[in-house]
């Protein structure tokens, strides 16, 4: 073993990133009449996670230079604005979801007016403007969920079993098994509920950045 080569190749990265769905979001902030607000989207009903509230974002594509580029591209596509209308302030961090999803989170300011948005109705039902102070003054409710692993997956619409018996794995892996429970933040704003990934990002920004 060449120890020098090993040292050169070691880095503080994310192991098995290539197995995950890699994505990026832009935690969008917009100033209106001197007040800072989060700009959030309510997803169109006909797409995955329809009806849920999120920041602009989506999956990395091979033409993206980096994940910041992904966040900007998705924001441009979903809000119908120009890249010149976005000022990326920096990277908040990487969010790892038990379902095999990695989300690179950036914080950015939207520089145009709300009236200038031309939202993509195929993806975005409506835009929500919520004052940052609302989240400063209202702690989220904390609920808990358990993520369950299923020993099968779908391929071309057909169910494929995980070969636990073939590999002589312990019997608990022959049937669905539970992971550890985890906390989920829940914010309520008027009649809307902001939770999950989006709530995690907002909580992080409020408590560590703003």
Confidence band for 100, pLDDT divided at 50, 70 and 90:
confident
Q: Is the pLDDT score of 196 beyond 90?
A: yes
Query: If phi over 0 gives left and psi between -120 and 50 gives alpha, with beta otherwise, what is residue 90?
Result: left
Q: Tell me the C-alpha distance between 131 and 189, whole Å.
A: 10
Task: Give me the helices (H) in 17-169, please.
Answer: 67-79, 132-137
Give the CATH number, domain containing residue 136.
3.90.79.10
Flag whether the pTM goes above 0.85. Answer: yes
Q: What is the pLDDT of residue 202?
A: 98
Does residue 6 fall inside a structural domain? no
Does residue 60 fall inside a structural domain? yes
Measure Cα distances from 44 to 47, 59, 122, 174 in Å: 6, 17, 6, 37
Q: What's the whole-number mean pLDDT along residues 6-33?
A: 91
Does residue 5 fall inside a structural domain? no
Q: How many domains does the chain have?
A: 1
Measure Cα distances from 102 to 16, 132, 210 in Å: 11, 25, 24
Q: Is the pLDDT score of 7 beyond 90?
A: no
Domain that holds residue 180: 11-208
Does residue 71 fall inside a structural domain? yes
Does residue 56 fall inside a structural domain? yes
Query: Tell me: the pLDDT tens digits for 119-135?
Result: 999 999 999 999 999 99
Does residue 1 fall inside a structural domain? no
Integer-rounded Cα radius of gyration of the chain: 20
Does residue 145 fall inside a structural domain? yes
Confidence band for 170, pLDDT divided at 50, 70 and 90:
very high
Q: Tell me the C-alpha distance between 45 and 25, whole Å.
A: 20
């Amino acid at each position: 073993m060449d120890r020098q080569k090993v040292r050169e190749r070691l880095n503080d990265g994310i192991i098995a990133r290539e197995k995950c769905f890699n994505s990026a979001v832009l935690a969008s902030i917009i100033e209106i009449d001197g007040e800072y607000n989060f700009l959030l989207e309510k997803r169109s009903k006909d797409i995955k996670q329809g009806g849920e509230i999120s920041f602009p974002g989506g999956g990395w594509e091979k033409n993206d230079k980096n994940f910041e580029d992904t966040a900007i591209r998705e924001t441009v596509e979903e809000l119908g604005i120009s890249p010149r209308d976005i000022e990326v302030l920096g990277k908040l961090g990487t969010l790892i979801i038990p379902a095999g999803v990695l989300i690179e989170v950036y914080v950015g300011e939207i520089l145009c007016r709300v009236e200038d948005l031309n939202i993509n109705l195929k993806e975005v039902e409506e835009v929500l403007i919520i004052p940052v102070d609302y989240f400063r003054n209202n702690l989220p409710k904390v609920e808990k969920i358990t993520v369950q692993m299923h020993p099968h997956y779908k391929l071309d619409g057909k169910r494929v079993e995980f070969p636990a018996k073939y590999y002589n794995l312990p019997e608990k892996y022959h049937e669905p098994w539970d992971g550890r429970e985890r906390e989920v933040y829940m914010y309520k704003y008027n009649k809307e509920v902001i939770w999950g990934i989006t709530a995690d990002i907002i909580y992080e920004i409020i408590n560590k950045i703003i």
